[in-house]
Amino acid sequence: MNKTFGLFFTAMSLFLATANARAEEPIEPIPLVKEINLAQVELGKKLFFDPRLSISGFISCNSCHNLSMGGSDNLKTSIGHKWQQGPINSPTVLNSSMNIAQFWDGRAADLQEQAGGPIANPGEMASSHTLAIDVLQSIPQYVTEFKQTFDSDKITIDMVTLAIAEFEKTLVTPNSKFDQWLLGDSDALSPKALAGYQLFKETGCADCHNGPAAGGASFEKMGVVTPYTTENQAQGLSGVTGKDSDRFNFKVPTLRNVELTYPYFHDGEAATLTEAVDIMVRLQIGEKFSDEQNAEIVAFLKSLTGDQPSFTLPILPPSTDKTPRPKPFD
């Protein structure tokens, strides 16, 4: 009996250690993807990589949300049709399904609404929803795949954006060192990263950067204590609400994989994590970290890099004689 009880006790401890470990922390482990429409995912993956959704035939979703590079383009602001300079830093698509809304100013309610934006934006892919559908509808392999996925002979933009959004829901990055630690492996974090996390909580960073994505759950003013100065024209939420008080209210960016998603802030003006931490602390809480404190925070931030999406590069179905041709130079 003693032995049985001992085994039971050990098993319960392990269960509690893994299932409930550190349930009190402000950052939660990334939930695994459990309910997904695989047909939509596979179709959406092709569409995500298909530059024929742009008028030039050159720019795809993956151009600015490059899945080889943390789901971002690692540029201050993005490059659009005819090399137009984009107005804002391209946010990572990784874990974006956890965002309260999409875009820095939250003007799209969800991933599906977001996906339609760049296709028709003259400064980005510069196509139109009508043209994008004409292109897809001219390609028999797409027609068949849409039919099998949506039970419809006619492709609509809602199907296109739904499939892209469903693919994007798979782009979660579990198993970071920090998540391993959250889930009970006390050795997963270095002492430096652990010290950084304590400091992160104590100084209030976790007031905004919390939840499974360590951000993305609220809109907050950039420059609570010290105003932020930038030449970038983006105004944040006020551009959506029209309220002056919403100026510089931005969706809090996720800190997941932040090691990969440089440069930082909506204007991309912070080139390194060290710089970003320094500016944030000054703007938001009016403090100045020592070099050692800053390095501890950075060590913690780097522990948030998770397993990157792993999949076979999609092969796109070829255009046909009827497919509208790209017009890159018109």
Region of 90-98, 161-169, 177-185, 312-320 interacting with a copy of itself (CB under 8 A): 312-320
What radius of gyration do the chain's Cα atoms show?
22
For strands 219-221 and 249-251, give the pairing: antiparallel
Region of 57-65, 187-195, 232-240, 285-293 interacting with a copy of itself (CB under 8 A): 57-65
Binding-site member from 10, 18, 20, 68 for a copy of itself (CB under 8 A)? 68
306 binds a copy of itself (CB under 8 A): no
297 binds a copy of itself (CB under 8 A): no
Q: Tokens at residue 232, please?
A: 């970038």
Quick check: helix, strand or coil at residue 82? Answer: helix
Burial of residue 258, with CB atoms counted within 10 A of its CB: 0-12 exposed, 13-18 middle, 19 or more buried: buried
Region of 27-35, 66-74, 128-136, 210-218 interacting with a copy of itself (CB under 8 A): 66-74
314 binds a copy of itself (CB under 8 A): yes
In Å, how far are 33, 51, 64 from 60, measured between CA atoms? Answer: 25, 4, 8
Q: Which is nearer to a copy of itself, 40 or 257 (CB)?
A: 257
- Find the helix packing angle between 291-302 and 273-285, rounded to 10°: 110
Residues in contact with a copy of itself, counted by CB under 8 A, come to a total of 43
Sign of the torsion formed by the C-alpha atoms of 306, 260, 86 and 227: positive
Q: Which is nearer to a copy of itself, 117 or 314 (CB)?
A: 314
Q: Are 79 and 56 in contact (CB under 8 A)?
A: no
Distance from C-alpha of 176 to C-alpha of 204, rounded to nearest angstrom? 22
Q: Per the residue annotation, which of 124, 145, 220, 269 is the catalytic one?
A: 124
Residue with tokens 């932040």: 258
The binding track of 70-89 with respect to a copy of itself, each residue x by CB under 8 A or -, is x--xxx---x--xx-x----
Q: Is 296 annotated in the active site?
A: no
263 binds a copy of itself (CB under 8 A): yes
Q: Which is nearer to a copy of itself, 69 or 285 (CB)?
A: 69
Q: Which is nearer to a copy of itself, 32 or 315 (CB)?
A: 315
In Å, how far are 84, 117, 127, 240 from 248, measured between CA atoms? Answer: 24, 22, 30, 12
42 binds a copy of itself (CB under 8 A): no
- Find the helix packing angle between 129-137 and 111-120, rounded to 10°: 90
Q: Summarize as ranges the residues that interact with a copy of itself (CB under 8 A).
A: 49-52, 56-58, 63, 66-70, 73-75, 79, 82-83, 85, 259-260, 262-263, 271-272, 274, 308-316, 318-319, 321, 325-326, 328-329
Residues identified as active-site: 124
